[in-house]
Amino acid sequence: MYLRCWWFNLGFPNPAQYCTVDEALWHRDLSVTLICQREKNIVHRLKSLPQEQQNLFLPFIQRSATAASRSRSAMDTSKLKANDARVQNASFTTRGLTYEYMIGEPQDKPPVGTVLLLHGFPDTSFGWRCQVPFLMARGLRVIVPDLLGYAGSSTPTNLEDMSLKNMSEDMKNLVHHVAGHDQQIILGGHDWGGHFAWRMALWQRQIIKCVFSICTPFFAPSPYSFEDLVRSGKLPNFGYQLQFIGPDVEREIQGETKMRQLINALYSGKGPEGEVGFSVHKGVIFKNLEKLGKTPSLTEEELDHHVAKFMLQKAPQMRGPLNWYRTGAINRGDEKEIAEKDIVFEMPTLFIAATKDLALPPHLAKNMESCMPKLTRGEVDSTHWALTEAADEVNDIIGKWLSNIVDETSKASL
């Protein structure tokens, strides 16, 4: 007979494979679930076994649990620093476009799965610096690209190359390049990356095991112009996007000094009298940029690294990032057919809201259950920058959700 074991960060060879068991010893139906969770070494379940057989099997579990615990404790899970040795940087070309990406592998053992993380605006792969080590410590391979228009990745001149449908295909090709063709991935996103993740789950659902998004709820495809809805006053918290679509930010923000001022403003830097450099209703307030003190959301080293990555783009450096806001009509055209159908996400989904997010307030996610029967919700006390401001809470929610998915998958196979 065969024993189906779901191996999650246990360090065994041949993860998630069938193992031959001696028929003479295991003469009754056997089902075992081994799941490594964050706050305990092993949750084990033995069904329909006499006590003497359990006693034979338990030492094997305990030895493995001890090894897994030691391996995890040895893994440094502190947030990544600039040019951190725990991850590697690489590049990948598809459709004639180059993506720079960061990849992290679990320590001293083969990965038990692959996570693809998608960043938002104004961010890069470095935006996931608090989550990457946490996921690596759980035995996962983590791939984090700098998306088109950002850092050292390409900025296409044709906006159609930046459609969510085309970039979803790019991400599939990147996953196949790194991890092979024979596994489904865990997909996560934040801000624009969250919106991208939901769309990728529609366009490339065959390669996706589960999806999570931080701050960004699922917005169903619509035949109506999003920009027109904002202009009508129905979505005042997206007023900044009208400025981003236009030429002002791209024209005004060029060179390292201006780029530093902009990033500082977008990450909530404030002036001596409470002045801000960005409003969700109006966008960038150029006259205030020079007045702002350093944002508390980034260390000096992180701000330097952030600016350096944005300066890898040719002038005007903001053209690529802002082009994401200029593809609305292209994406609506691609989504016209699916907008006419009932959308259901069959895979497990997770949405984590940030209670102080002014651009994406939690109430925007109130109807997600209608298309996500396996939705899990989480909430953190944070602004839009939850990935770093509430890193421990975000990681804890993601970790428990992943453990539950492994648990449910194991039960379904028994």
CB neighbour list of residue 12: distance below 8 Å, 6 or more residues apart:
5, 64
Residues 4/413, Cβ–Cβ less than 8 Å = yes
Helix 256-266 and helix 300-310, axial crossing angle in degrees, nearest 10: 120
Residues 127/82, Cβ–Cβ less than 8 Å = no
Backbone φ and ψ for 90, nearest 5 degrees, come out as -150, 180
146 is catalytic: no
CA distance 404 to 398: 10
CB neighbour list of residue 321: distance below 8 Å, 6 or more residues apart:
121, 122, 149, 150, 310
Q: Which residue, chain included where needed, has tokens 């690209």?
A: 145
Count of residues in the chain: 414
CB neighbour list of residue 310: distance below 8 Å, 6 or more residues apart:
122, 124, 150, 151, 259, 263, 317, 318, 321
**Residue 316 preceded by cis peptide, ω within 30:** yes
Would you give the DSSP letter of residue 270?
A: B
Q: Which of 170, 191, 334, 357 is catalytic?
A: 191
Q: Which of 190, 195, 305, 384 is catalytic?
A: 384
CB neighbour list of residue 139: distance below 8 Å, 6 or more residues apart:
8, 9, 10, 11, 36, 106, 109, 111, 112, 113
191 is catalytic: yes
Which value, to the nearest 10 degrees, does the dihedral of the CA atoms of residues 160, 162, 166, 172 take?
170
CA distance 32 to 222: 46
Q: Which residues are catalytic?
A: 191, 384
